[in-house]
A = this chain, B = another copy of it.
Amino acid sequence: MRSLKIALAALPLFAATAVSAMPPPLPLEWLADDAAKNDQLAWDFTEGVTTEVGPRLAGSEAEARARTFAVAWLKQHGFANVHVEDFTIPGWERGEARAEIVSPFAQPLTLAALGRSGATPAEGITAEVVRFASFADLQAAPAGSLEGKIAYISNAMEKTQDGSGYGFAGPARWVGPAIAAGKGAVATVIKSIGTDHHRNPHTGGTTFRDVEPIPAAALAVPDAEQLDRVFARAKGKPVTLHLTLTPRSVGPLPSGNVIADIVGTDPSLPPVILACHLDSWDLGTGAIDDGAGCGIIAAAAKQATKSDRPLRTIRLLLAGSEEPGGLGGDAFAKAHGDKPVAVALESDFGADRVWRFKSNFATSNADLHNRIARAVSRFGVSTVTTPAGGGEDIDIAREQKAGVIDLDQDGLRYFDLHHTPDDTLDKVDPAQLRQNVAVWTQVVGILANERGTINPGE
């Protein structure tokens, strides 16, 4: 065995010089494994934005402070081209939300207005409640049958790893109030679209398309179950509610996307887009929705490029105004849709571990799909050939039929917290957050150094 001295002496001069000037790049696997153990960046961003800004409703002054925070953080951590792209949105303010059962069993209930809810007069309204055990029951109610009544939709949501319970339960919130309004209801309350049992109602957007908005609110799950019991014990006597909701539409208000790059060595290649959203609902501090998502993508971009510049530019999109309906993603797609992107990924499902990788090129670029799948399997991540769908903030990739990847996170806890006051930093598990960064580091590192087209299509 040769001595180290002899081995070094045998190296060509230029190589020896290069070694002393710049160490050889570390393998991507090493970087991802290191992130799994040691990443602090994702936590630092998440703690920072949730502590120094806290709740940051779309269009609010707090959302503007979140942009300021993000710009400073990204510059401090060496990102390039850090800037804000402004746009405006129709605004909405929450106002007051109170409800009391008037009869037969007088008591207060805890609830929160849904985004875009209409308002009651300041003194509230009192009306009989008509209970629907399910969304389908509401749909089946005859036209005009809710005239002067408050509709109550009692459908419950189940926990699922993939979050599919949201798809089953969600319509009660998304369009339940509009359907009830169409049948004459003066207001709608729903059982929160959530899987917890705490006195924390789940807000979220609702949509009134062909009908004037009516007051619409979500009861905390324990309060909705209480209302169910009140109906059972009322034994057919009318149940009446006094409801005060004073949200209002305001604006237009300023919002904006924060953009930041790690510039690739080949600017002719379309970039890899990593997305999250910077706004939150106003009840919590937006830790799992979506401070952590922004922390994960920013950390992964840094960790994957820690020892060498990537081939492609990695572009972060910290979108504004996602919660009112993906308005930041729309603005980004509109502003940049003419410039091709290679692939886009979004982190917007909390901070629990990634358990599944999906792409939209499992068949069109099976080699790449399978390389990624093999690379993330050591982190406990499986794969499937069901196409990735992406999220609200990466419309641009879907519109261009570019690559889209989903790194599915464990959703069993997510809807305990989603859109509630309880979405706070203490709900983020640092170890699972680091697993996210590790998986993202691995995937982003592969994508950013992939020369060929990511999604060549069919």
B residues near A47, Cβ cutoff 8 Å: 229
A320 at interface, CB cutoff 8 A = no
Contact status A198-B200, CB under 8 Å = yes
Nearest chain B CB to A102 CB, angstrom units:
13
Question: What is the copy number of this chain in the assembly?
Answer: 2
Nearest chain B CB to A195 CB, angstrom units:
13
Segment at the interface with B among A166-174, A402-410, A418-426: A418-426
Contact status B54-A105, CB under 8 Å = yes
A226 at interface, CB cutoff 8 A = yes
Contact status A51-B200, CB under 8 Å = no
A446 at interface, CB cutoff 8 A = no
Nearest-CB residue, chain B, relative to A56: B107
Nearest chain B CB to A216 CB, angstrom units:
22
Rounded to whole angstroms, the CA-CA distance of A108 and B54 in the bound complex is 8
Contact status A199-B424, CB under 8 Å = yes
Nearest-CB residue, chain B, relative to A55: B107
Nearest chain B CB to A237 CB, angstrom units:
12
Per the CB 8 Å criterion, the residue count for chain A at the interface is 35
B residues near A51, Cβ cutoff 8 Å: 105, 226, 229-230, 233
B residues near A199, Cβ cutoff 8 Å: 200, 284, 420-422, 424
B residues near A222, Cβ cutoff 8 Å: 422, 424-426
Contact status B285-A107, CB under 8 Å = yes
Rounded to whole angstroms, the CA-CA distance of A48 and B233 in the bound complex is 9
Would you list which residues of chain A between 152 and 173 have a CB under 8 Å from chain B? Answer: none
Contact status B62-A422, CB under 8 Å = no
Rounded to whole angstroms, the CA-CA distance of A35 and B105 in the bound complex is 30
Contact status A427-B197, CB under 8 Å = yes
B residues near A221, Cβ cutoff 8 Å: 426
A308 at interface, CB cutoff 8 A = no
A330 at interface, CB cutoff 8 A = no
A34 at interface, CB cutoff 8 A = no
B residues near A421, Cβ cutoff 8 Å: 110, 199
Rounded to whole angstroms, the CA-CA distance of A307 and B51 in the bound complex is 62
Rounded to whole angstroms, the CA-CA distance of A225 and B287 in the bound complex is 14
Binding site for B on A (CB under 8 A): 47-48, 50-55, 62, 104-108, 110, 197-200, 221-222, 225-226, 229-230, 233, 284-285, 420-422, 424-427
